[in-house]
């Protein structure tokens, strides 16, 4: 029995979830997302009584068989359903910081232009479904409703110039700790 999979996914206020066979659709104030639930997992919407006497809707997922694969994919599908429900109601955000003398970023149309110590500027075209803001020249904010897409875009921007271990120059996540190395000694 999975500790994650057995927990039902509560549907937030203002989110409408529909299940049509193996296709789950969630609509919220920020947009709409779809998820195809694996054939080894069944999903259903139930009403549950809260502590205060009111009822709320939850999505309950269960494995269809006792096979090892069904037991493994069940908590994964539960987490993906939870990510969709949170995404359409609140959205996801990743923040990046740029460290280094002369390193900076700005937006030109739908492109992020990075000046990160190369002889040329680095351009990254932002995909649909993700919003990128450059708050200061050294702070980048990536936001959207799809958790996987937001994380992927942030990781691609970070990969252009990962933080190096000697001076810590490069692009890092906000709050990320860089383990520093000591330089050569004479």
Same domain as 97, residue 62: no
Mean pLDDT of 14-27: 87
Cβ atoms of 180 and 165 closer than 8 Å: yes
Q: Which long-range contacts (CB under 8 A, 24 or more apart) does 170-173 make?
A: 170/98, 170/99, 170/100, 170/103, 170/116, 171/96, 171/97, 171/98, 171/99, 171/114, 171/116, 171/140, 172/96, 172/97, 172/99, 173/94, 173/95, 173/96, 173/97
Cβ atoms of 88 and 15 closer than 8 Å: yes
**Pairwise pLDDT comparison (25 vs 185), residue with the higher score:** 25
Residue 167 lies in a domain: yes
Same domain as 100, residue 60: no
Q: Which of 15-29, 51-65, 149-163 has the lowest mean pLDDT?
A: 51-65
Torsion of CA 3, 4, 8, 10, to 10 degrees: 140
Cβ atoms of 163 and 178 closer than 8 Å: yes
Can you tell me the distance from the alpha carbon of 149 to that of 29, in angstroms, rounded to the nearest whole number? Answer: 19
Residue 185 lies in a domain: no
> Phi, psi (5° rounding) for residue 70?
-65, -40
Residue range 118-170, pLDDT digits in tens: 899 889 998 888 999 898 888 999 999 999 999 999 999 999 988 888 888 88
Single pTM value for the model = 0.83
Same domain as 57, residue 35: yes
Residue range 64-85, pLDDT digits in tens: 888 888 888 888 989 999 999 8
**pLDDT higher than threshold 80 for residue 174:** yes
Which pLDDT score, from 0 to 100, does residue 55 have?
81
Same domain as 107, residue 51: no
Q: State the total domains in the chain.
A: 2
Same domain as 45, residue 80: yes
Can you tell me the distance from the alpha carbon of 37 to that of 17, in angstroms, rounded to the nearest whole number? Answer: 13
Same domain as 105, residue 166: yes
The residue range of the domain holding 19 is: 9-89
Q: What is the CATH number of the domain that holds 33?
A: 3.90.930.12
Same domain as 99, residue 37: no
Cβ atoms of 154 and 124 closer than 8 Å: no
Residue 37 lies in a domain: yes
């Amino acid at each position: 029995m999975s500790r994650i999979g057995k927990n039902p996914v509560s549907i937030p206020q203002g989110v409408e979830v529909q299940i049509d066979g193996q296709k789950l659709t969630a609509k919220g104030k920020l947009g709409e997302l779809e998820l195809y639930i694996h054939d080894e997992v069944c999903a259903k919407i139930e009403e549950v009584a809260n502590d205060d006497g009111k009822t709320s809707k939850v999505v309950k997922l269960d494995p269809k068989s006792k096979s090892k694969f069904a037991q493994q994919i069940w908590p994964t599908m539960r987490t993906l359903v939870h990510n969709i429900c949170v995404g359409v109601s609140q959205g996801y955000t990743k923040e990046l910081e740029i460290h280094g003398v002369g390193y900076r970023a700005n937006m030109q149309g739908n492109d992020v232009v990075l000046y990160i110590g190369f002889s040329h500027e680095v351009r990254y075209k932002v995909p649909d479904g993700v919003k990128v803001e450059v708050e200061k020249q050294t702070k980048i904010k990536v936001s959207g409703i799809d958790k996987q897409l937001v994380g992927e875009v942030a990781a691609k921007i970070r990969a252009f110039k990962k933080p190096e271990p000697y001076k810590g120059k490069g692009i890092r996540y906000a709050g990320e700790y860089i383990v520093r190395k000591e330089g050569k000694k004479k």
